[in-house]
Amino acid sequence: MTSSPAAATDGGARALAQRFVAEFGSAPEGAWAAPGRVNLIGEHTDYNEGLALPLGIRQRVLVLARRRHDRRLRLLSLESGQQELALSDIGPGRISGWAAYVAGAAWAAIEDGASATGLDLLIDSDVPMGAGLSSSAALECASLVAMAELWSLPRSRLELARLAQRAEVEVAGVPCGLMDQLASMCAQEGHALAIDFRSLSVEPVPLPLARAGLGLLVIDTRSPHQLAEGAYAERQAACHAAARALGLPSLRDANPGSLARLDPARPELVRRARHVVSENERVTQSLVVLRAAATDATRLAELGPLLSASHASLRDDFEVTVPRLDVAAEAAESAGALGARMVGGGFGGSVLALVPAERAAEVSSAVTAAYVERGWEAPRGFEALPGAGARRVL
Ligand code: GLA
């Protein structure tokens, strides 16, 4: 994991303020943070008006900012380098690389009516990149909460999440639903978020991991996923085609019975739809478990089989796993995890395992051993702790 301890504390933000002065000549007006996320369960449901249970993690992107008198954005990322651009140069298809997420946030805010000024921005992140933990959504969300404040754009969390999603889809050109941005904007310490992507309601639900003696182990498989964007768009299209074939507004309205009406000559469409329908059901069941765990934390262990069933469905029906994800999930379970599943879009990224706290190290070593045995680069593991959503920290 590329971990920058500076980003992990608000003391870190103060230290970065010194760096800001050194780089830009005077103090920042503030510092804003937004977390990466892991999704407990509910994968590839967001763009089907379905259900999901993500949580913000402690790893986060920090953005320190100060307004400028011109209309230029000067960006300095401690991880990715430097870029300077004019606000008038930003637009769909015009910026690439990491800067597109920040510039895209600015573009979306301006499209929404912000009175933009130029900005100096210093960016630091300890969210592992390319690990399926939404480092890009965290960057968009941290940038947007900073811009919303500095550019006097009073917007709700949901509205800001939608602007962040526009940045990703329209300016960075990466297809996605709303889950990552909504999770980063709305996360609450110690909670998962029960999100309904039809009503767009977001309800924080306590996740009493410590009381249950459990931990969430994130295993970053460090596997490349270059083909992910095309495959993601293809999955979205298949889901929308399945809903259309059923005459439904979205797969949210489908049930196991209605799936029988899909043309058996299109088995792939049937499998895609079956994943979405069964995943929504698993989220509903997980929510029942979380509610029961509020009074009896030991009930949290019941999430394990639901996580494993989600992985099997993503592997067999939605077909977005790769061998490194499958091997990590299987090795984690064999070593004592109560359940494990891939998180995020798939084709690489991370696996989330629910583990008895005392077995976390053992599970982690077992996954590493399984990788080494196959001649693969060792994965990186860390414990996910449910952290706070996007906010001002200085
Ligand atoms: C990516 C997208 C999300 C969501 C997940 C799959 O992370 O950005 O919107 O669709 O994949 O659940």
The phi and psi torsions of 125 (rounded to 5 degrees) equal: -145, 140
Mean pLDDT value across the chain: 96
- Per-residue confidence (pLDDT) for residue 224, from 0 to 100: 67
3 state SS of 290 = helix
* Dist. CA 26 → ligand 1 center (Å): 39
* Dist. CA 368 → ligand 1 center (Å): 26
- Per-residue confidence (pLDDT) for residue 1, from 0 to 100: 32
Give residue 228's pLDDT band: very low, low, confident or very high (50, 70, 90).
Answer: confident
What's the N-to-C CA distance of the chain in angstroms?
Answer: 26
The 10s digit of each residue's pLDDT in 1-22 is 333 444 555 678 999 999 999 9
3 state SS of 86 = strand
- Per-residue confidence (pLDDT) for residue 229, from 0 to 100: 82
Q: Which of 180, 196, 253, 296 is catalytic?
A: 180
For residue 177 and ligand 1, the question of a CB distance below 6 A is answered with: yes
> Ligand 1, closest atom to CA 46?
10
Ligand 1: which residue has its CA nearest to atom 9? Answer: 177
The type of residue at 266 is R
For residue 120 and ligand 1, the question of a CB distance below 6 A is answered with: no
- Per-residue confidence (pLDDT) for residue 147, from 0 to 100: 98
* Dist. CA 71 → ligand 1 center (Å): 33
- 90 token code pair: 């930003």
- Per-residue confidence (pLDDT) for residue 3, from 0 to 100: 39
- Residues 56-78, mean pLDDT to the nearest whole number: 98
Q: How far is CA 138 from CA 37, 102, 164, 165, 277, in A?
A: 8, 10, 9, 11, 28
* Dist. CA 72 → ligand 1 center (Å): 32
Which of the two residues, 130 and 211, has the higher pLDDT score?
Answer: 211
The phi and psi torsions of 331 (rounded to 5 degrees) equal: -65, -40
* Dist. CA 131 → ligand 1 center (Å): 13
- Per-residue confidence (pLDDT) for residue 249, from 0 to 100: 98
CA 15, CA 13: separation in Å to the nearest integer? 5
Angle at 99 between CA 93 and CA 104, to 5 degrees: 55
Q: Among 140, 176, 352, say which to mutate for ligand 1: greatest number of ligand atoms within 8 Å of CB.
A: 176
Place of tokens 């001002």: 392
Q: Among 44, 136, 314, 321, say which to mutate for ligand 1: greatest number of ligand atoms within 8 Å of CB.
A: 44
3 state SS of 219 = strand
For residue 43 and ligand 1, the question of a CB distance below 6 A is answered with: yes
- Residues 86-111, mean pLDDT to the nearest whole number: 97
188, pLDDT greater than 80: yes
266, pLDDT greater than 90: yes
- Per-residue confidence (pLDDT) for residue 5, from 0 to 100: 44
> Ligand 1, closest atom to CA 44?
12
- Residues 45-59, mean pLDDT to the nearest whole number: 98
- Per-residue confidence (pLDDT) for residue 6, from 0 to 100: 45
- Per-residue confidence (pLDDT) for residue 2, from 0 to 100: 36
> Annotated catalytic, 180?
yes
* Dist. CA 289 → ligand 1 center (Å): 23
- Residues 177-186, mean pLDDT to the nearest whole number: 98
For residue 140 and ligand 1, the question of a CB distance below 6 A is answered with: no
Give residue 223's pLDDT band: very low, low, confident or very high (50, 70, 90).
Answer: confident
For residue 379 and ligand 1, the question of a CB distance below 6 A is answered with: no
- Per-residue confidence (pLDDT) for residue 215, from 0 to 100: 98
* Dist. CA 22 → ligand 1 center (Å): 38
Give residue 225's pLDDT band: very low, low, confident or very high (50, 70, 90).
Answer: low
- 251 in Cβ contact with 47 (< 8 Å): no
Contacts with 247 (C-beta within 8 Å, 6 or more apart), sequence order? none
For residue 179 and ligand 1, the question of a CB distance below 6 A is answered with: yes
For residue 239 and ligand 1, the question of a CB distance below 6 A is answered with: no
380, pLDDT greater than 60: yes
- Residues 312-332, mean pLDDT to the nearest whole number: 98
Give residue 227's pLDDT band: very low, low, confident or very high (50, 70, 90).
Answer: low
Q: Among 136, 180, 342, 352, say which to mutate for ligand 1: greatest number of ligand atoms within 8 Å of CB.
A: 180
- Residues 188-205, mean pLDDT to the nearest whole number: 98
